[in-house]
Amino acid sequence: MLTFTERARDMVRSFIDQSGGELAHLRIAHHGSPVAPTFELTLVGPDERVGSDREIEVEGLAVLVPETSVEALEGATVDFVERVNESGFEVRPAARAGAASGGTGERPVPTGPIAERVQEVLDAQVNPAIASHGGAIDLYDVQETEIYLEMSGGCQGCAMSRMTLRQGVERMLRQAVPEITAVHDITDHASGENPYFEA
């Protein structure tokens, strides 16, 4: 159901040891949209377990997962990452069907007025501009007035992708479709193999 990298296991055990055994369980809870999930990891003591928690043992670690989070964590990997400006635990869900990481499954195409207008902007303005870098941006989903975009090709894993999305693409989309309240990048940038700019 759930796997830990060696680094993540070592860090969890280190934090448990530092607590003197008071915190013996790692609780992992899922929040957010299925297409843009967020996960909360917390070390808790035995008395902090709640009735809806399912306890699973993962490679010697006692992990509590709320019933509502079990499906989202199926096949996920917990890692501990250290980057230039941040470090911490990262949960990578199982690959989505059809994701830029190489899946081949079919996914439903977003429909509705917002989806159609966003797609027009992506087709006419955004993708022709980034095609010279070998990149593409696809509309993955629309949830009310929030949109979910996925980058591929040269944009996936590109060090400049965040700036491209926030300073260029999001600005164009909000001008053309003012109803948009949030733009989410759901790209798995860690698996990008062909960035135009190296990090």
Question: Could you give the 3-state DSSP secondary structure of residue 81?
Answer: strand
Give the percent of the chain with pLDDT over 70: 72
> Is 99 a residue whose pLDDT tops 50?
no
CATH 1.10.1280.10 fits 113-191, yes or no: no
Residue with tokens 């999001």: 170
In this predicted structure, the answer to whether residue 79 has a pLDDT above a threshold of 80 is yes
Using one digit for the tens of pLDDT, what is the confidence trace for 159-179? 555 565 666 788 888 888 999
Say which CATH topology domain 2-92 has: Hypothetical Protein Aq_1857; Chain: A; (2.60.300)
pLDDT(3) > 70: yes
The residue extents of the domains of the chain are: 2-92, 113-191
Q: How many helices (H) and strands (E) does the chain have?
A: 6, 10
- β strands within 59-195, DSSP E: 61-66, 76-82, 87-92, 135-143, 146-153, 182-185
Pairing of strands 53-58, 61-66: antiparallel
